[in-house]
Structure 1
Amino acid sequence: MRITSLALLSLSVLVASPARADLHIRRDHGGYVEEYKAKYKRIRDRKERVIIDGICNSACTLVFGIVPMNKICVTPKASVGFHQAYYDKAFTFGIKVTSAEGTSDLMSYYPETVKDWIRRNGGLTTEMKKIKNGRELWKIVDPCPEEW
């Protein structure tokens, strides 16, 4: 196999460039908690950044408890929403049933800044409690620098 100078140049650029893949959250309404835990642990372990650039609700908010806060930022479009955990509807005949154990598990992941906001706003309930970008959200997570 022959290696061309162009191939060597391309390889040197790849090796010299840091491998970084940012997760851009734009419209994430949540889902299965265990899937989010695994996803965010992979991001944390790869030391990747998370940019919240839109909706991050429900299980999506686990990002605050798993990825280091200095690797997360919010853009002006950011919005986060919290509520109690629910059992999978497949096991509750399609009825939305809250899970005290699941809610406790969610809370155990959140940093104190998130827990404080939740407490100040009446705790987790069945209703979605949202924080839009601005001072309240910046008490939890930093706004993104312009280069992000």
Structure 2
Amino acid sequence: MRITPLALLILLFAAAPARADLRVTRDHGGYVTEYKAKYERIRDRKERVIIDGICNSACTLVFGIVPMNKVCVTPRASLGFHQAYYDKAFTFGIKVTSLEGTSDLMSYYPDTVKDWIRRNGGLTTTMKKIKNGEDLWKIVDPCPEEF
């Protein structure tokens, strides 16, 4: 059986993985290493991230790993930033901040995120939030199809 160039092209497109958007709606964060790996996979697959709700803590690493032209926000978006801390399971339930972890987080953020954090008193143990609006749009573009 002979395969024509057109048939080969169709087979190649059919076998290629489909690109999908990641829609963040309620992400309160977690382990930094897991988020780094997740966002690196998204970046490498050239997928888009739509922040459509809460994106707190390690979730915000998206801004330092996925290209900013592949990240957008909807009117429901909310970002939350705080200092990194050790897993409370290993610190007897006490929140112990990590200066090294916090420095690592900051090293990933683009200047627009760093500037907002500095203007708002730096990273502390208390969550600092950006709700939708002008401050958020200085960091990331709104999703055109959502407005």
TM-score, with structure 2 as normaliser: 0.88
Q: Alignment length, in residue pairs?
A: 139
| Percent of residue pairs identical | 86
Which residue identity lines up with residue 72 of structure 1 in the other structure? Answer: V
Pair 38,16 (structure 1): closer, same or farther in 2 beyond 3 Å? closer
* C-alpha spacing 1:62/1:145, structure 2 compared with 1 (3 Å): same
Q: Distance in 2 between matches of 1:96 and 1:84?
A: 10
* Partner AA of 2:130 in structure 1: I
- What secondary structure is seen at the aligned counterpart in 2 of 1:146? helix
Deviation of 1:15 after TM superposition, in Å, equals 2.8
- The separation in 1 between residues aligned to 2:29 and 2:76, in whole angstroms, is 17
Q: Which residues of 2 match residues 105-116 of structure 1 at below 5 A?
A: 105-116=104-115
Aligned to 2:4: none
Gaps of at least 5 residues in structure 2 are: 1-6
Equivalent position of 2:120 in the other structure: 121
The residue that corresponds to 1:102 in the other structure is: 101
Q: Distance in 1 between matches of 2:30 and 2:90?
A: 15
C-alpha separation in 1, matches of 2:17 and 2:92:
48
* Counterpart in the other structure of 1:57: 56
Q: Which secondary structure does the structure 1 equivalent of 2:107 belong to?
A: helix
Distance 1:122 1:90 in 2: 28
TM-score of the superposed pair, with normalisation by structure 1: 0.88
